[in-house]
Amino acid sequence: MRIDIISVLPELIRSPFEASILKRAQQKGIVEVHLHNLKDFGMGKHRQVDDYSFGGNAGMVLRPEPLFACIESLQAERTYDAIIYTTPDGRRFDQKSANSLSLLENILIICGHYKGIDQRVRDHFVTHEISIGDYVLSGGELAAAVISDAIIRLIPGVLNDETSALTDSFQDNLLAPPVYTRPAEFRGLEVPEVLTSGHFQKIEDWNHAQALQRTKERRPDLLED
Ligand code: 6GU
């Protein structure tokens, strides 16, 4: 997979891709992440990328020319299976969206900023408008990092233990059950006995019952569909 990210502040999201699982996925050659600074396509000697919005609403909007130039220069190299725009007015991102995006080969993410991007860019290029939740971030960069992380960890070979993505919260519309590690007793606090029993089927049943109970208590909405 290859992910290209267009941003006015690429420094903001360099580090997530240079640590831990996302770094290893790139070192293994499973995924390539490329950050592009929109200012490189800015206009005039100040490399301007934004301007006031028509109609007098407060806030700056990213102009179409730099975005068209940047996107078209990337499209000249490859065809994108998805062109994502990160925006609070997009569709809410969830595990199902992550699963389907993880199957794609080339993804382009355009990070929104200020009051957003000129609507003509959305109309002309964007295939997916995604929000990561009902709150407002200063820009789409952190959302792009969140979306990329959720996608990349699902690609086969990225996680060491391949089953661990399958047992994540949400993969079966259930939250994950509680987990314990050694020691079996700590300051008088004991690990549930079933987990140390070595009885595989009983452990499975216990985990499922716990997952169901947690989901009922915390996220009953997940059990509705
Ligand atoms: Cl994708 N962008 C911004 N700026 N804020 C958000 C968001 C995205 N998702 C939730 N809040």
Superfamily of domain 2-152: SPOUT methyltransferase, trefoil knot domain (3.40.1280.10)
Does 207 sit in the ligand 1 pocket, CB within 6 Å?
Answer: no
Residue 89 CA to ligand 1 center (angstroms) comes to 8
Instruction: Report pLDDT digits (tens) over 143-155.
Output: 999 999 999 999 9
Phi, psi of 128 (to 5 degrees): -135, 125
Residue 20 has a pLDDT of: 87
- DSSP per position, 117-178: B-HHHHHHH-SEEEESSSS--SBSHHHHHHHHHHHHTTSTTSSSSTHHHHTSTTTTSSPPPP
Measured distance CA(221)–CA(215) in Å, rounded: 9
Question: Are 22 and 16 contacting, i.e. CB atoms less than 8 angstroms apart?
Answer: yes
Does 146 sit in the ligand 1 pocket, CB within 6 Å?
Answer: no
State the Cα torsion 198-200-204-205 to the nearest 10°.
-90
Q: Which two tokens stand for residue 103?
A: 């199957």
Does 7 sit in the ligand 1 pocket, CB within 6 Å?
Answer: no
Task: Determine which residue's CA is closest to atom 11 belonging to ligand 1.
Answer: 136
Instruction: Report pLDDT digits (tens) over 161-199.
Output: 766 787 788 878 999 999 999 999 999 999 999 999 999
Residue 162 has a pLDDT of: 63
Domain with CATH 1.10.1270.20 in the chain: 169-224
Q: ∠ CA(203), CA(161), CA(95), 5° rounding? A: 85
Residue 150 CA to ligand 1 center (angstroms) comes to 15
Superfamily of domain 169-224: tRNA(m1g37)methyltransferase, domain 2 (1.10.1270.20)
Q: Please indicate, yes or no, whether the overall pTM of this predicted structure exceeds 0.75.
A: yes
Q: ∠ CA(30), CA(36), CA(42), 5° rounding? A: 165
Residue 186 CA to ligand 1 center (angstroms) comes to 42
Q: Please state the atom number of ligand 1 nearest to the C-alpha of residue 130.
A: 1
Residues 84-98, mean pLDDT to the nearest whole number: 97
Does 192 sit in the ligand 1 pocket, CB within 6 Å?
Answer: no
